[in-house]
Amino acid sequence: MTLWELIRRESSGEGRSLIASATLAGGANALGIALINAAATEGGEKVRSFILIALCVLLYIVCSRRTYHRTTAIIEQALKKIKLRVIDKIERADLQGIERLGTSEIYDRITENMSVVSDSAGITANFLQSLCILACASIYILSLSPPAFMLLMLLNGVGMMRYFARNTEIGEHLREVARKRVTFFDQITDMLKGVKEMRLSRRRAQDVRQDISVTTEELRSATVNANNLFNDNLILAQCVLFVLLITMVFVLPQHVSIDSVKVTTLVGAVLFFWSPLGGAVGGMPAYKRSNMALANIEALEEKLERAARGVVPPEKAEDPWKGEFSTIEMDDVRFAYATEADEHAFQIGPMNLSITRGEVVFVVGGNGSGKSTFMKVLMGLYPVTSGTLCLDGTQIRAENVASYREMFSVIFADFHLFSKLYGVLDADEQLVQRLLKQMQIADKTSYVDARFTTRSLSTGQRKRLAMIVSLLEDRPICVFDEWAADQDPEFRRYFYDELIPSLKARGKTVIAVTHDDRYFHYADRVVTLEYGQVKSIEEHATRSKAAPVG
């Protein structure tokens, strides 16, 4: 999609009136100059000429302002719509799709590319107006001298052909710039996340810097190549002007009958003609960059669309359970990561397992045995590749998976704490304060206006904060992925001795990934995974030592 197509699509029929105002502005501009030229060379009624010129200027101001202001408004409105659409697609896209896409491309497209389009609004309006002035000025030159007009068209035609021949090459360089910018984003993210590791190793810091400097060099080179071609086009336009003026002054009078006054008028007209042409040629880089940015945004939208394919919109979602359940059943469930042409993509299953309400299930296994993958499949975050996942006999499908997921309150191993208590914004303040005390972080952070005053806590403390959010969600199934791993012995004990039994006593189902074998007796069952398969399921007697939560 080009910028002009975007304007046409988003302006709800205003495109024509925009062209009309740009044409009027261009016409008024050209007519004003023609009148000034005529007044200067032909004399005649000066007051009349002055009034007509003033009217042209006024018309130019009114129409020009409209063209500029409306173009900016239309583009900004379109960008707002695109941003919201991208956010909506990110929200709908499936987890694997987002994981495959990575964050750098998304950041680049919705920040850098959007600003390129936004910055081009004024230039686009100028470009549009310049084209109209050019058309009017050409008519003016035609009225002065048809042979001069033919000469103008001929030289412009040659210039244009050279100009468009360079377009493909410019496009290649701009695409390379876009690719390198994503790599640059990736590397900067890597660097910022690994700042501690870099401080501890000058060699590592040097290697990271080396990689970044290679990318910045490639970015520089691709940008310079694109800009050089754009600048060559400007020089080409200037050369065409020289050739045109030289031909008009030295060659044209030799072949057609034209007096010196007309030649002077023609030179004045051509010089005037060249200023909008310069605007159009000069505005081309911004226009082209905007088109490239829009193509990048479109490509991102397509990828997100693909990732959201099959996802049922909220208005069509089914909820047969209304937050209640008895049993989750996995019947021959398999899942394989969809990686591009990777035959060794990790798989889990076939898995046959049922989890009943109020059960405490521990999931154990070595690193990479598939515990986190299994949990994500169980929670409906990854769709099963084959087999069936059912809740109370109802198979989990695209139509009901959103309601199914709402049964779970999860603390992932790589959990994220939102800046606000999104999802539980109406949480009871006293309950939150009580939980903060219970988790022993009341002296570190407080709860004000649906947000915690600070999230700059130790890893263990942040996990306790995540636990508070999970408890506030109050869902039937609590999933904890190695929650206790970062807790001190006292809190580890609290987690197993008090928190889990109290959740069980309240009828909650607890599924926890853990390596703490000394607490395995708190589980009703311990499921051991190995190479993505259930290796064993051990049953344990549960101690029910309930403690109040909240």
Ligand X SMILES: Nc1ncnc2c1ncn2[C@@H]1O[C@H](COP(=O)(O)OP(=O)(O)OP(=O)(O)O)[C@@H](O)[C@H]1O
Comparing CB distances to ligand X, the nearer of 485 and 505 is 485
| Least gap, CB of 541 to ligand X (angstroms) | 27
| Least gap, CB of 529 to ligand X (angstroms) | 7
| Least gap, CB of 381 to ligand X (angstroms) | 11
Q: Does 99 help bind ligand X (rule: CB under 6 A)?
A: yes
H/E stretch holding 428: none
Q: Does 373 help bind ligand X (rule: CB under 6 A)?
A: yes
Ramachandran angles phi, psi of 377, nearest 5°:
-70, -45
Q: Does 337 help bind ligand X (rule: CB under 6 A)?
A: yes
**Is 219 exposed, middle or buried (CB count within 10 Å of its CB: 0-12, 13-18, 19+)?**
middle
Q: What contacts 296, CB < 8 A, 6 or more positions away?
A: 108, 109, 113, 178
Long-range contact set of residues 165-173: C-beta below 8 Å, sequence gap at least 24: 166/229, 166/232, 166/233, 167/288, 169/229, 170/226, 170/229, 170/230, 170/288, 171/288, 171/292, 173/222, 173/223, 173/225, 173/226, 173/229
| Least gap, CB of 353 to ligand X (angstroms) | 16
Give 330's DSSP letter. Answer: E
* Single residue of 4, 346, 412, 519 touching ligand X by CB under 6 A: 346
For residue 335, what are the β-bridge partners? Answer: 348
| Least gap, CB of 96 to ligand X (angstroms) | 7
Q: Does 528 help bind ligand X (rule: CB under 6 A)?
A: no
Q: What contacts 219, CB < 8 A, 6 or more positions away?
A: 177, 180, 181, 184
Ramachandran angles phi, psi of 362, nearest 5°:
-100, 135
In whole angstroms, give the CA distance from residue 486 to residue 462. Answer: 10
| Least gap, CB of 333 to ligand X (angstroms) | 14
Where do the H-state alpha helices sit in 11-45? Answer: 15-42
Q: Does 169 help bind ligand X (rule: CB under 6 A)?
A: no
* Single residue of 265, 369, 403, 461 touching ligand X by CB under 6 A: 369
Which amino acid belongs to residue 520? F
| Least gap, CB of 327 to ligand X (angstroms) | 24
Q: Does 371 help bind ligand X (rule: CB under 6 A)?
A: yes
Comparing CB distances to ligand X, the nearer of 355 and 364 is 364
Comparing CB distances to ligand X, the nearer of 90 and 505 is 90
| Binding string, residues 410-449; x marks residues near ligand X by CB under 6 A | ---x------------------------------------
Comparing CB distances to ligand X, the nearer of 20 and 413 is 413
Candidate ranges 46-54, 79-87, 131-139, 369-377; the one touching ligand X (CB under 6 A): 369-377
Residue with the two structure tokens 């975007």: 6
By CB under 6 A, name the binding residues for ligand X.
99, 337, 339, 346, 365, 367-373, 413
